[in-house]
Structure 1
Amino acid sequence: MNLRDLDYHLPEDLIAQRPAGRREDARLLVVRRADGALVDAHVARLGEWLTAGDVLVLNETRVRPARLVVRRPTGGAVELLVVRPAPDGTWVALARPAKRAHVGVRLALPDGSLTLEVVGEGDGGERRLQVASGDLEGALRAAGEIPLPPYIRRAATPEDAERYQTVFARVEGAVAAPTAGLHFSEALLAGLAARGVDAVRLVLHVGPGTFRPVSSDDPREHRMEEEWYDVPADTAARLRAARAAGGRVVAVGTTAVRALESACDAHGGALGPASGWTRKYILPPYRFRGVDALLTNFHLPRTTLLLLVAAFAGAELVRAAYAHAVRERYRFYSYGDAMLIL
Structure 2
Amino acid sequence: MTDPKKLAIKDFVYELPDERIAKFPLPERDQSKLLQYHQGQISDHTFTDLPQLLPSHTLLVFNDTKVVQARLLMQKETGGIVEIFCLEPVAPHREVQLAMQQTGSSTWKCLVGNNKRWKRGPVKLQFEGGELQAEREAQQEGHFLIRFTWTPADLTFAEVLEQCGKLPLPPYLNRELTAEDHTRYQTIYANQQGAVAVPTAGLHFTDRVMEQLKLQSIDTAYLTLHVGAGTFKPVKADTMEAHEMHAEQLFISKAFLEKLLQHLGNPVIPVGTTSMRSLESLYWLGFKVWQQPNLPVQELHVTQWQAYESTELPTAEEVLTALLKYMEQQNTDYLHASTQIIIAPGYTFRICNGLVTNFHQPESTLLLLVSALIGENWRKVYQHAMENDYRFLSYGDSSLLLP
Aligned partner of 1:119 in structure 2 is: 137
Unaligned ranges ≥5, structure 2: 1-6, 93-105, 288-313, 324-334
One-letter identity of the residue aligned with 1:107: V
Aligned partner of 1:212 in structure 2 is: 233
In the TM superposition, what are the counterparts of 1:65-84 in structure 2 within 5 Å? 65-84=69-88
Percent of matched pairs sharing the same residue: 38
- Is 1:145 the equivalent of 2:149? no
Deviation at 1:231, TM superposition (A): 2.3
- Is 1:38 the equivalent of 2:59? no
Aligned partner of 2:59 in structure 1 is: 55
Deviation at 1:87, TM superposition (A): 3.3
Deviation at 1:100, TM superposition (A): 3.6
One-letter identity of the residue aligned with 2:379: R
In the TM superposition, what are the counterparts of 1:176-191 in structure 2 within 5 Å? 176-191=197-212
Deviation at 1:118, TM superposition (A): 0.6
> In structure 2, what is the Cα distance between the partners aligned to 1:122 and 1:297?
34
Contact 1:296-1:340 within 8 A present in 2 as well: yes
* Cα RMSD for the two superposed structures: 1.8
Closer, same or farther in 2 for the Cα pair 1:241/1:137, shift >3 Å? closer
Equivalent of 2:113 in 96, 101, 112 = 96
Closer, same or farther in 2 for the Cα pair 1:275/1:23, shift >3 Å? same
One-letter identity of the residue aligned with 1:15: I
Aligned partner of 2:349 in structure 1 is: 288
Deviation at 1:133, TM superposition (A): 4.0
- Is 1:198 the equivalent of 2:259? no
Q: What do residues 284-303 of structure 1 show as CA deviations (whole Å, max 9, x unaligned)?
A: 11011111110011111121
Aligned partner of 1:11 in structure 2 is: 17
- Is 1:254 the equivalent of 2:273? yes
Closer, same or farther in 2 for the Cα pair 1:69/1:243, shift >3 Å? same
> In structure 1, what is the Cα distance between the partners aligned to 2:248 and 2:137?
22
Equivalent of 1:310 in 367, 371, 376 = 371
Contact 1:263-1:275 within 8 A present in 2 as well: no
Aligned partner of 1:265 in structure 2 is: 284
Q: What do residues 76-105 of structure 1 show as CA deviations (whole Å, max 9, x unaligned)?
A: 211111123213441122111343457x54
> In structure 2, what is the Cα distance between the partners aligned to 1:340 and 1:105?
51
Contact 2:52-2:216 within 8 A present in 1 as well: no
Aligned partner of 2:178 in structure 1 is: 157
Unaligned ranges ≥5, structure 1: none
Other structure's SS at 2:172 match? coil
Deviation at 1:24, TM superposition (A): 0.8
Equivalent of 2:249 in 225, 228, 247 = 228
Deviation at 1:336, TM superposition (A): 0.2
Which has the larger Rg?
2
Contact 1:27-1:42 within 8 A present in 2 as well: yes
One-letter identity of the residue aligned with 1:87: A
One-letter identity of the residue aligned with 2:225: L
> In structure 2, what is the Cα distance between the partners aligned to 1:85 and 1:327?
43
Structure 1-normalised TM-score?
0.93
Q: What do residues 114-159 of structure 1 show as CA deviations (whole Å, max 9, x unaligned)?
A: 11101122233x2211124436543311121111101112211221
One-letter identity of the residue aligned with 1:48: Q
Aligned partner of 2:26 in structure 1 is: 20
Contact 2:84-2:113 within 8 A present in 1 as well: yes
Aligned partner of 2:300 in structure 1 is: none
> In structure 1, what is the Cα distance between the partners aligned to 2:131 and 2:252?
37
Contact 1:230-1:275 within 8 A present in 2 as well: yes
* Larger CA deviation: 265-274 vs 301-310: 265-274
Contact 1:51-1:195 within 8 A present in 2 as well: no
Contact 2:16-2:362 within 8 A present in 1 as well: no
Equivalent of 1:278 in 339, 342, 358 = 339
Other structure's SS at 1:29 match? strand
> In structure 2, what is the Cα distance between the partners aligned to 1:132 and 1:183?
37
Contact 1:298-1:332 within 8 A present in 2 as well: yes
- Is 1:109 the equivalent of 2:125? yes
> In structure 2, what is the Cα distance between the partners aligned to 1:122 and 1:253?
31
Aligned partner of 1:239 in structure 2 is: 260
> In structure 1, what is the Cα distance between the partners aligned to 2:225 and 2:206?
20
